[in-house]
Structure 1
Amino acid sequence: MQDQAETGSKKAKKANLLDHQSIKHSRDESASEIVRSRGYVEDVRMSNVKVFLGTIIIVIALFGQFYKKKFPENRDFLIGCVVLYPFSQSFFILFYGLLQLIIYTKEKNAILFTYPPAGSITSTGLVVSSKLPRFSDLYTLTTASSDPKSISAGKPVEFTKSVTQWLAKGGVLMEDQFWKDVETLVNDYAAEPKKKK
């Protein structure tokens, strides 16, 4: 099995079997590739919002830490910082809180957001989510609509399987078997009857 995986056209993906996150990450990465290969284009708007908020948080921290003038030239600036410190911390906490709210309410366990495939009659993309609980070998992959309230939203579908079904010796991912399972999941979602008006 290992030789077959390693001699494929792509370099075999390997996970550290002693690292729970490594196993989950290798499955998530492959699942995202498979969904994109089916014509779904990744929607990076949520990632862009997170990067923007993270940048604001970093700029606030850097500005307070590394102002270019030295004492006593920066005396007025330092007085201003001391006076505004509670406000700057409030801004930092506000933006950080906003970032965590987005992760908690929108992302949850999502590994991929997509637009609908080109030429599709549906107006919504997909949200692909995964779970691999700590100390468990059961990996759950879920496909749902990115807009569940839409008329064209399908019913979420999922599968739960042991990660050992897709592993060869040494933590090499058996791409063929995993590919079939994820494709079946996407096909099951596409086959679901859509909501009626």
Structure 2
Amino acid sequence: MATKNAKKANLLDHHSLKHLLDESVSEIVTSRGYVEDVRLSNVKLIMGTVIIIIALVAQFYKKKFPENRDFLIGCIILYVVFNGILQFIVYTKEKNAILFTYPPAGSFTSTGLIVSSKLPRFSDLYTLTISSSDPKSISANEPVQFTKSVTRWFTKDGVLVEGLFWKDVEALIDEYAREPKKSK
């Protein structure tokens, strides 16, 4: 029964490893009372919908090419502008983030978390970072991170040893929660 629920990844595919670890991190953080903040995802979905609508309007406009030239130019400009805005949001806000959260219910802190991760190509070093969603807030703690080899969390068959991984991630969450903010 344990192998039925085992989380398995392809050890030769770093995307598969990172995806499985990121899903597990999200599960661990939400199990600790943090609720996922999906506002940025919703904004990205709305922007994507607008981009698709612009493309569809340009494609199925009633007039044919020579007559709709100015309209098509306008659609192309809008398409490029909205795609640029979407890429700007991803580049500035999302970065390597895998999870944005609200503060836990009943907590004294007024900021949620940004959980981000990195697993460079051709590397076995997984870096997990936890920081405040509002770093300028008085209740924000300093970001914490660890960098560890993925080989310590996976068996030779590619099965995630969840107990070890949960212990490391929970220790990082605890480190973030107790670390006092530096005095200025």
TM-score, normalised via structure 1 length: 0.88
Distance 2:134 2:76 in 1: 35
Distance 2:10 2:68 in 1: 47
Aligned runs of 1:59-70 on 2, under 5 Å? 59-67=53-61
**Consecutive unaligned residues in structure 2, runs of 5 or more:** none
- Counterpart of 1:82? 69
Distance 1:114 1:108 in 2: 15
> What is the CA-CA distance between 1:82 and the residue it aligns to?
1.5
Larger radius of gyration: 1
Conserved? CA contact 1:152–1:195, under 8 Å: no
**Consecutive unaligned residues in structure 1, runs of 5 or more:** 1-5, 68-73
- Counterpart of 1:183? 170
Confirm or deny that 1:123 pairs with 2:110: yes
- Counterpart of 2:17? 23
Deviations 1:112-166 (A, max 9, x none): 0000000000000000000001100000000000000100000000000000000
Q: Could you say which structure has the higher helix fraction?
A: 1
Confirm or deny that 1:7 pairs with 2:2: yes
Conserved? CA contact 1:64–1:81, under 8 Å: no
- Structure-2 change in CA distance of 1:29 and 1:80 (3 Å): farther
Distance 1:12 1:169 in 2: 14
1:146 to 98, 119, 133: 133
TM-score, normalised via structure 2 length: 0.94
